[in-house]
A and B are shown apart, each in its own frame.
Chain A
Amino acid sequence: MDFAQRLGKLDPRWIWAIVMVIVFASVLAPVSVPVPMDPQTQGAINYINGLPKGSNLFLAPEYSPGSYPELDPQVRVISILAFQHGLHIVIGDSGFALGPQLAEAQVEAAAAFVTGKACTNPGTPQTVCGDLKYGVNWVNVGYKQGNGPTENNMERNFQTATQGVDFYGQPLSGYPLSKDIQGVNSKYFSGLWVEDTGSPGCQEWLANAAIPGNLPLGCGVIIMEGPTHATFYAAGQYKALLVGARGAGAIEEKLKAPGLGLAGQETAMFASILIVIAVIAGNYVYFKTKGKKAA
């Protein structure tokens, strides 16, 4: 068995072991990696800053804990930008049960960063972070099961689709921010931001709320979904597109609000190098062993 054949039959756990060494090293001995701002990421900042001050932004965190390293930082930076711009945030999703819970923690972290004060009673309807308060500056309607049809119902009949209660089971009519909202449309909101890991995600919210409700849609995606959603951004259907932890990291750097997005960039750099090496090795094995297999 020659080298190429041995390489082709390598136990995949060795690859994972190498990956773990790289990730462990980059977490335990981090080096600062600059994350330059690209036009697409700047477009996400411009999208939030372009919404009318004091208006409402609907945030749909369509993701589960598996995607938190990439999308938690995105929710945090989008919320920081929104609060700095004086926007109110209404959180709610239709496909991922734990999305609103993850987003709530990030919105609270963003509120604490913007006001410079730690939140009191975090994770409750009485959360107050400096002069930002749950129910006044943000509300979480939680997970409302039903995918596309629920999104469409939220666009037209917000109070019915949400069953009139928030993430904590409290009536939406009891909060100044949500008591008068009747739809996720341009009458009550100025923008719609969706965090996407698959389906339902940006495409579904585009079809069910952004187009019928005449709302400009901004989309944050995991890096794996980046190439797919680039077509919607290029076609002008999304007004902004933020990709992966890198997009969040660039905004964290610009806002001087370092977090998980920026922390993961060193790993991403070494990962990219390893991917190139693996692609070369894989092709080497393929071309060296192709003829032998056929024989």
Chain B
Amino acid sequence: MSMNPQDWVAGLVTLALWTWLIDRESVIFEFVQYLYIGLSFAYSIALNYADYLRPVLGKIGAGQLEYIIPIVLGLMIYARYTKRLDFLGRWSLSFFVGYGAGYVLAFTPAVFLGQLSGSFFHLWGKGGSLNNWILFLLLLASIVYFFFTVNRNNGFIKHTSALGRYAIMVFLGATFGATILYRYSLLFGRVYFVFHNWLHFV
């Protein structure tokens, strides 16, 4: 059995969370739930202070006055709580939205273009394969599924769209199965912690 107090706290809190299996309105479960939320907020505030505010204030103190600008922009958001000055809040929000739009336009197209070029497959000759044909046809069918501005009762569109729907469902099914497996991994991690790290049973 571990002698580390951290292991004891983590182990007992893990057991407390499992009391939900016995009683849906378990007081112990609710206590731990709120403890978690409270700790997360406290940690987040402390982290933001240590990681952001303290270094920036230090830099301003050292004479780097340009760091005052983002602080003022941030504080301007709170001006929306006063009717007379609420336009100032819109200014800083406009700045953030403008920056975000410019940033996305600058850096994300390269990722999409890579996806686009990756969807050009060798179908014949060297490099051609059955897999590439399947990918090519299902890609086209999936795109056709999202054609909403054409007559979808048309025989070709109707059947291709149905094939696309099945392709999408296979993807979603694979993701769903993987999601459940992931939940198992989380539970395994906690059970392994309890029996291995805390209680030293295994």
A23 and B14 CA atoms in complex are apart in Å by: 15
**With a CB–CB cut-off of 8 A, which chain B residues contact A149?**
103
**A227 on the interface (CB 8 Å rule)?**
yes
A72 and B62 CA atoms in complex are apart in Å by: 39
A149 and B177 CA atoms in complex are apart in Å by: 33
**B117 on the interface (CB 8 Å rule)?**
yes
A19 and B201 CA atoms in complex are apart in Å by: 20
A165 and B58 CA atoms in complex are apart in Å by: 13
**With a CB–CB cut-off of 8 A, which chain B residues contact A26?**
188
**A267 on the interface (CB 8 Å rule)?**
yes
**A4 on the interface (CB 8 Å rule)?**
no
Are B189 and A69 in contact (CB-based, < 8 A)?
A: yes
A27-B192, A28-B195, A224-B178 known; A237-B114 Cβ under 8 A = yes
Segment from A54-62, A174-182, A201-209 that makes contact with B: A201-209
Are B118 and A237 in contact (CB-based, < 8 A)?
A: yes
**With a CB–CB cut-off of 8 A, which chain A residues contact B48?**
145
Are B178 and A223 in contact (CB-based, < 8 A)?
A: yes
A260 CB, min distance to chain B CBs, angstroms:
7
Are A268 and B118 in contact (CB-based, < 8 A)?
A: no
**B153 on the interface (CB 8 Å rule)?**
no
Are A224 and B182 in contact (CB-based, < 8 A)?
A: yes
A145-B48, A211-B110, A222-B182 known; A68-B177 Cβ under 8 A = no
Are B184 and A228 in contact (CB-based, < 8 A)?
A: no
Are B185 and A211 in contact (CB-based, < 8 A)?
A: no
Classify chain A: how many residues form its interface, as a range: 35 or more
A225 and B118 CA atoms in complex are apart in Å by: 19
**With a CB–CB cut-off of 8 A, which chain A residues contact B171?**
227
Neighbour of A237 across the interface among B18, B111, B184, CB < 8 A: B111
A23-B188, A211-B111 known; A275-B182 Cβ under 8 A = no
**A294 on the interface (CB 8 Å rule)?**
no
With both beta carbons as reference points, the residue of chain B lying nearest to A72 in the complex is identified as B189
Neighbour of B195 across the interface among A13, A27, A148, A232, CB < 8 A: A27
A275 and B21 CA atoms in complex are apart in Å by: 20
Within 8 A of A (CB), among B146-193: 171, 174-175, 177-182, 184-189, 191-192
**With a CB–CB cut-off of 8 A, which chain B residues contact A223?**
178, 181-182, 185
Are A148 and B103 in contact (CB-based, < 8 A)?
A: yes
A258 CB, min distance to chain B CBs, angstroms:
12
A141 and B110 CA atoms in complex are apart in Å by: 27
Are A20 and B21 in contact (CB-based, < 8 A)?
A: yes
Neighbour of A20 across the interface among B51, B187, B189, CB < 8 A: B187
Query: Of B177, B180, B184, which is in contact with the most chain A CB atoms at under 10 Å from its CB?
Result: B184
With both beta carbons as reference points, the residue of chain A lying nearest to B171 in the complex is identified as A227
**B115 on the interface (CB 8 Å rule)?**
yes
Neighbour of A235 across the interface among B119, B177, B189, CB < 8 A: B119
A237 and B110 CA atoms in complex are apart in Å by: 10
A148-B103, A149-B103 known; A235-B181 Cβ under 8 A = no
Task: Encode contact with A along B103-133: 1 for CB under 8 Å, 0 otherwise.
Answer: 1000110110011011100000000000000
**B55 on the interface (CB 8 Å rule)?**
yes
**With a CB–CB cut-off of 8 A, which chain A residues contact B111?**
203, 206-207, 211, 237
**A143 on the interface (CB 8 Å rule)?**
yes
Are A244 and B110 in contact (CB-based, < 8 A)?
A: no
B49 CB, min distance to chain A CBs, angstroms:
12
**A3 on the interface (CB 8 Å rule)?**
no
Known: A13-B20, A69-B189, A224-B182. 10 other contacts (CB 8 A): A20-B191, A23-B184, A70-B185, A143-B51, A149-B103, A207-B107, A227-B178, A231-B115, A231-B118, A268-B188
State the A residues within 8 Å of B (CB).
13, 16-17, 19-20, 23-24, 26-28, 30, 66-70, 97, 143-145, 148-149, 152, 163, 165, 203, 206-208, 211-212, 222-228, 231-232, 234-237, 244-245, 260, 263-264, 267-268, 271-272, 275
Nearest first, the 10 A-B pairs at minimum CB distance are: A235-B118, A69-B189, A271-B184, A224-B182, A237-B114, A267-B188, A211-B110, A224-B179, A69-B185, A207-B107
State the B residues within 8 Å of A (CB).
18, 20-21, 24, 43-44, 47-48, 51-52, 55, 103, 107-108, 110-111, 114-115, 117-119, 171, 174-175, 177-182, 184-189, 191-192, 195-196, 201-202
